[in-house]
Homo-oligomer: A and B are copies of this chain.
Amino acid sequence: MTPPARDLPRRDDLDLIPLDIDESGTRSSFLLEAPLLRHDGALYGGTAIAASMMAMEAASQGEVQWITTQFVAPAPGGRMIEVHTEVLASGRRTAQLRVEATIDGEVMFASLGSTGVPREDGLTGQFETMPVVTPPEESAPRMHGPPRGEAPTEPAWERACEYLVPEILESDRPAAGTMAMWTRFRHGRPMSPAQIAFAADMVPVAIARGANKMGAGTSLDNSMRFAGGSDTEWVLLELQGNMAAGGYGHGLVRVWSQSGKLLAVGSQTASMVYLFD
């Protein structure tokens, strides 16, 4: 059981996204630069959800239990982002928070979520099992990615975290669209919940795969639910497309520690525009 949280957000998270937080804990800012960017130089979605989680932790000193981040506008690299957090309600264990991130007063992303203090005797359990996949040392680098263990030269988010593609050997969930990726932070330490959210912003790829196409889409949001940080360096992203209609696609991600613990479940909707056979 995780002890009551103190001194949130975590040092490792601040090393990734250097939020400058005011004394109240409700206002902060950070410079949008590598490795917080997409390949086109705009805000990477994983940065938006991770920064929102850190802002919620700073304002409430609790662990994020669930969060939804809405991607409103493609914030350009090189700019300062202002983050404002409202505590909508605060009880004995659980706080309800709302985050708005702006540049010059214009909303770039917005989040809702809850933080909480886990109860020692509170319901704890896991109702699903990890798929059996090849371990990281027997998994392939992502197509078009740099060689194993090497950071890419472009200033995007893969400078912070590495991805490998295992073979899925056995799964309880044989749905079309299921794919898997191992990921770890290059700092080599187990991931915090915010780092899991940063690395897991990958669902649209699985929606395209579900339709037997390559490509991805523009994520509209990312929603994640957490059971804590990882106990292992590598975590497995188990990705799955659910369905698509009229160009909007929906999918899921389960995040597993290498020891088989279900760390997080997430879902995303994307406008599926970049597809090829």
Contacts and interface: CB of A to CB of B under 8 A. Distances in A.
A243 interface: yes
Interface in A116-173: 116-129, 172-173
A66 B220 contact: yes
A269 B65 contact: yes
B269 A66 contact: yes
A214 interface: no
A70 B175 CA distance: 30
Interface string A94-125: 10101000000001001111101111111111
Contact of A96 (B220, B250, B252): B220
Interface stretch (A13-21, A24-32, A223-231): A223-231
A114 B93 CA distance: 31
Nearest to A241: B127
Contacts of A125: 210-211, 243-244
Nearest to A117: B246
A141 B136 CA distance: 49
A135 B210 CA distance: 28
Identical copies in the complex = 2
A123 B272 contact: yes
Contact of A250 (B73, B227, B250): B227
Contacts of A208: 123
Given A123-B272, A127-B177, A175-B127, A265 B252 contact: yes
A263 to B, nearest CB: 9
13 contacts: A65-B269, A68-B112, A93-B271, A114-B221, A117-B246, A118-B246, A120-B246, A121-B247, A124-B247, A172-B173, A172-B174, A172-B175, A225-B250
Given A225-B269, A242-B265, 14 more contacts: A1-B246, A66-B220, A89-B107, A93-B247, A114-B221, A122-B245, A126-B243, A127-B177, A127-B210, A129-B175, A172-B174, A173-B175, A252-B252, A252-B265
